[in-house]
Structure 1
Amino acid sequence: MLKVGVIGAGAMGQNHIRAYSQLPGVELAGIADVDKKRVEELSRQYNTQGFTDYKEMLKTGMDAVSIVVPTTLHKSVALDVIAAGTNLLVEKPIANNIESADQIIDAAKKQDLKLMVGHIERFNPAVMKMKELIMSGELGKIVSISTRRVGPYNPRIRDVGVILDIGVHDIDIISYLYDSYVSEVYTIAGKEIHSFEDHASMILRFDGDKAGVVETNWLTPHKTRNFTVIGTEGVGYGDYMEQKVVIHDKEWIKEAKVEKKEPLMNELQNFTDACKGKCDLLATGEDGRHALEVAMASVESYRCRNVVKLLGSYTPNLREKHDIKVVV
């Protein structure tokens, strides 16, 4: 039985708590949050131990934990978890700057621990099915992937713009579907109702002149979450919310069979299975770092109105200029 805990019991943290309590072969062994009342209520509800100091929880011998705290705290909490010899899942984004992300990744590697980043859309059944179709050659050679993630503004988001808050999901998904990292980004963005950018269109370049296009905003009254994959043999249309995939080829329009399931359950299943040595992680620390780096490059691009090239594993100009804040 894998002993797991959750650090941070806000809205997303409570989802982790619920999901872990339902996973087979997993014991929800602890919950930690600075809100004593919330901890007491949740520990009673899920019949587990509650802590107001996560360091005390770590002393009980956890095998793995989810870190679901404000992003500015990711580095300090993650390093404490790693020092305790505990595998960790860090909610996206991995950190509030590239230097902190590197420190988390390096520390986990030195301790030979599993480090996952919560890029949950990788575990959306529609994305998983599209990845399967791409790998099978169903669509031929893929030349372009585009996404649309638009909808009304959530007033809890105050410290960051739409690119870092929700655009980062699609940056990661396009990279995942291509199985490749972004080399250049050009972004047009602006702000209408927010102090940071609230609408953005990003063009991403990948090796072999493959393209990625991300459209995102907080302005549209109607919530839309979809993606399109264009190949030489067909076009695939995916819907994140409906968990639906439709393929158009030379002969047919056909809907793929998608087994619908909550993405978070898929994510935590992969994480806990990896901690047991049963599989590899589907979203690594390096993947999380790349998504953060591209998002920060996108912000830089729209501010300077230029293409921003990513230099690889280390991008000093971005590291020095940005220190983002994101509330999970």
Structure 2
Amino acid sequence: MPATTTIGLIGAGAIGRAHLGGAAQAAGVRIVGVADPSPAAAELAREFGLPHFEDQRALRDALQPDGAVIATPNALHVPLALEWIAAGRPVLVEKPVAVTVEEGRQLARAAADAGVPVLVGHHRRHNPVLQKARALVQGGALGRLVCASVMAAFLKPDAYFEQAWRRSNAGGPVLINLIHEIDLLRFVCGEIRSLQALTSNAVRGFEVEDSAATLLRLENDALATIQLSDTAAAPWSWDLASGESPVFARSDTESHFLCGTEASLALPTLRSWRYPGERGWFHPLEQSRVAFEPGNPYVEQMRHFGAVIRREEAPLTDAADATRTLEVTLAVRQAARSGEVIRF
């Protein structure tokens, strides 16, 4: 067993609770305190038997943790991360890594200059399903990847939008949800070379979009599409299909479809199709299911963060990598406004 690494939690919203649950099951790490000024945070700390602080500096001074999880509102991600880096403490910063690309690059430079690692909370990368899919695609099991199709269609209830920022351009499904799909494509299928996009706010009429369609060209000239809407009475999304989070009602379906010249793959089921003999649409495909060892990505992410703090593992998603995902995600709105192809 590794030595226990102590971690402070800054921010006690829904994702903060997920980190507390992950750390409780992860080997080698222990969250030792919660910093968040809200009364709900104090209650959450009591629920987990942890000391509560209204200020993150007070937590650091009192407990001297080895690192910190920053799960605050987005605008605080970089300022708080820079402060902990200056103190020599590694951080796990929730996604998006920053509000702007330049802020993300600033954080990456600061981490590199200080020699202090930053892990960014793109938790799906820690899911065994996606790690298996990445190995299959990059190992050539599908042949040459030619296209990928992503469905992210779900219904956010009216109460979700009672917080005003979720109705503004600070929120919306592009920044909150599509960023996961962009990162998944980059992780499993490869880098993105260009994109085009359309957005719509026709259903709710908010300032921010409620639907988006994105067409992407990947580095190997494979094409990918992402259909996104948070107004759809539909089961086709990773959150509903994967069962990663118990807060969502699970649906027995698939959301991601990867097609290659030799085989195709559906996620999260890892169903695969290929021709057992003669090839072509006049002949039947053979279906199988790829074996994998299930695991909880939130638990694995916290275990990995402990190893990152101890310098035993390099961050699976560092600040520079996460900034690349942010850059592509922000370009979706830019492309929708301009009607242009955005190239990277």
TM range (shorter): 0.7 to 0.9
Partner Cα separation in structure 2 for residue 138 and residue 30 of structure 1: 45
Partner Cα separation in structure 2 for residue 148 and residue 271 of structure 1: 30
**Residue in 1 that maps onto 2:257:** 228
CA positional deviation for 1:296: 1.1
SS, match of residue 83 in structure 2: helix
Residues 1:158 and 2:167 aligned together: yes
* 266, 278, 300: which one aligns with 1:237: 266
**Residue in 1 that maps onto 2:274:** 249
**Residue in 2 that maps onto 1:107:** 110
**Residue in 1 that maps onto 2:252:** none
Partner Cα separation in structure 1 for residue 114 and residue 190 of structure 2: 27
Partner Cα separation in structure 2 for residue 10 and residue 39 of structure 1: 8
For residues 194-241 of structure 1, the C-alpha deviation after alignment (integer angstroms, 9 at most, x for no partner) is 3211111111122232222211111211232211111111000112xx
Alpha-carbon RMSD = 1.6
Q: How does 1:185-196 map to 2 (within 5 A)?
A: 185-192=195-202, 193=204, 194-196=206-208
TM-score by length of 2: 0.84
Partner Cα separation in structure 1 for residue 225 and residue 315 of structure 2: 26
In 1, are the aligned partners of 2:190 and 2:219 still within 8 Å (CA)?
A: no
In 2, are the aligned partners of 1:151 and 1:221 still within 8 Å (CA)?
A: yes
SS, match of residue 95 in structure 1: coil
Gaps of at least 5 residues in structure 2 are: 238-254, 277-285
**Residue in 2 that maps onto 1:314:** none
Partner Cα separation in structure 2 for residue 219 and residue 44 of structure 1: 36
In 1, are the aligned partners of 2:97 and 2:120 still within 8 Å (CA)?
A: yes
Partner Cα separation in structure 2 for residue 95 and residue 46 of structure 1: 29
SS, match of residue 221 in structure 1: coil
Partner Cα separation in structure 2 for residue 207 and residue 162 of structure 1: 25
Residues 1:200 and 2:212 aligned together: yes
Gaps of at least 5 residues in structure 1 are: 311-328
SS, match of residue 232 in structure 2: strand
Partner Cα separation in structure 1 for residue 148 and residue 317 of structure 2: 19
Q: How does 1:74-113 map to 2 (within 5 A)?
A: 74-113=77-116
For residues 121-163 of structure 1, the C-alpha deviation after alignment (integer angstroms, 9 at most, x for no partner) is 2222321221122233221122222211111125243232321
* 51, 54, 57: which one aligns with 2:56: 54
* Bigger Rg, structure 1 or 2: 2
**Residue in 1 that maps onto 2:34:** 31
SS, match of residue 64 in structure 2: coil
**Which deviates further from its counterpart, 130-139 or 41-50?**
41-50
For residues 279-322 of structure 1, the C-alpha deviation after alignment (integer angstroms, 9 at most, x for no partner) is 22221212210111111111010111111122xxxxxxxxxxxx
For residues 44-94 of structure 1, the C-alpha deviation after alignment (integer angstroms, 9 at most, x for no partner) is 332332211101112232212110011011121111111221111111111
SS, match of residue 202 in structure 1: strand
Q: Which amino acid aligns with 1:246?
A: R
Residues 1:145 and 2:148 aligned together: yes
Change (3 A) 1:236 1:208: same
In 1, are the aligned partners of 2:190 and 2:218 still within 8 Å (CA)?
A: no
Partner Cα separation in structure 1 for residue 219 and residue 40 of structure 2: 48
Q: How does 1:169-188 map to 2 (within 5 A)?
A: 169-180=180-191, 182-188=192-198
SS, match of residue 98 in structure 2: coil
* 254, 279, 282: which one aligns with 2:313: 279
CA positional deviation for 1:176: 0.9
Change (3 A) 1:26 1:164: same
Higher strand content, 1 or 2: 1
Partner Cα separation in structure 2 for residue 38 and residue 164 of structure 1: 25
**Which deviates further from its counterpart, 259-268 or 225-234?**
259-268
Partner Cα separation in structure 1 for residue 42 and residue 129 of structure 2: 37
Structure 1 runs of 4+ with >6 Å offset = none
Q: Which amino acid aligns with 2:312?
A: K
TM-score by length of 1: 0.88
**Residue in 1 that maps onto 2:300:** 266
In 1, are the aligned partners of 2:13 and 2:41 still within 8 Å (CA)?
A: no
Q: Which amino acid aligns with 1:238?
A: L
Q: Give aligned pairs, total.
A: 304
Partner Cα separation in structure 2 for residue 76 and residue 210 of structure 1: 38
